[in-house]
Amino acid sequence: QHKHLQEIYCIYGIAEQSYNIHLLLHLSATVKAWGPLWANSCFVFEDALGKLKTLHHGTKAVPMQITSAYTSKSLLGVLVSKQEIRNHQILKFIEEMQAKHAVTKKVTNINGCMLYGKPTYRNLLRTEEKAILKLLGDQLVSTRVQFYNRMCYSGHIFSCKDYCSKFIHADYAVSLSSRNCVEIHRIIVLNGEVYFIGENIPATKFLMCYPQVGSLCSNILSISDDNAQCKSKTIAFRPFDVINKYVILPMTEKSVTYFIPINVAEY
């Protein structure tokens, strides 16, 4: 192995000396699996994987995300080469799109809550105002507030129901320290603080449990279609009131919806 490392510079150049330590410990296994070392550059392979990771976000339809992003970047270069662009702002924008790393979206940090995108402004609806007043008492200063669709708190992404529906996501349900299960309908900023506004879900514990999965099912919640028709109550709560987040799994053939916990530990 040492002789191989000493001769790499002379034969292949300094660029091929960038082997990671964990790869050096498995050179013999690499030769058996992939053939002669000179035929494979592990560093180039890992570098390519790193580039692929910048072409997708999240875990849904990753191959399609990578294909779409790579195609778009390739087409951008072709289209730009056919145009004579002199506007400084346009050139800067194109340069940012062609950069190795994606341009960071607008993020607002309020007391540890990372709010994504630009907010919209409007007055609170009467039901929303009542929910906030019940939470804060008489502290409501203004009924005109900022609304966001997504935010990150304590390492977890929270999205509004309307936003999730656009992207076929179903992770807008949470449970609170009060043991209520709630759908997140609004993320608002009022008087410099972040609040959720949502509706109670009449969910119950999923009692069926199989020996092979132990107590895993004990944290699953369920709601029947009949209970779902019940009028829900609008409530307001703070991000630190959330103790769990759920993925919603509808079962149309059984007329029931399951709420699968993402993390049963407290945030």
Which residue(s) pair with 235 in the sheet?
198
**Domains in the chain and their CATH numbers?**
1-39 (no CATH), 42-98 (no CATH), 108-261 (2.30.30)
Residue 67: what residue type? Answer: T
Q: Residue 138: what pLDDT? A: 72
pLDDT band per the 50, 70, 90 thresholds, residue 177: confident
List, in sequence order, the alpha helices (H) in 176-248: 225-228
Please state, rounded to an integer, the average pLDDT across all residues of the chain. Answer: 75
Residue 212: how many CA atoms within 13 Å on its side-chain side? 0
Rg (CA), the chain: 26
pLDDT band per the 50, 70, 90 thresholds, residue 30: low
- What element of type H or E holds 119? none
Q: List the helix and strand counts (H, then E) for the chain.
A: 9, 14
Choose the most confident range, by mean pLDDT, from 76-90, 111-125, 137-151.
Answer: 111-125
The reply to whether the predicted model has a pTM over 0.75 is no
In the chain, the percentage of residues whose pLDDT exceeds 90 is 16
**End-to-end CA separation in angstroms for the chain:** 47
Question: Region 113-130: what's the mean pLDDT?
Answer: 91
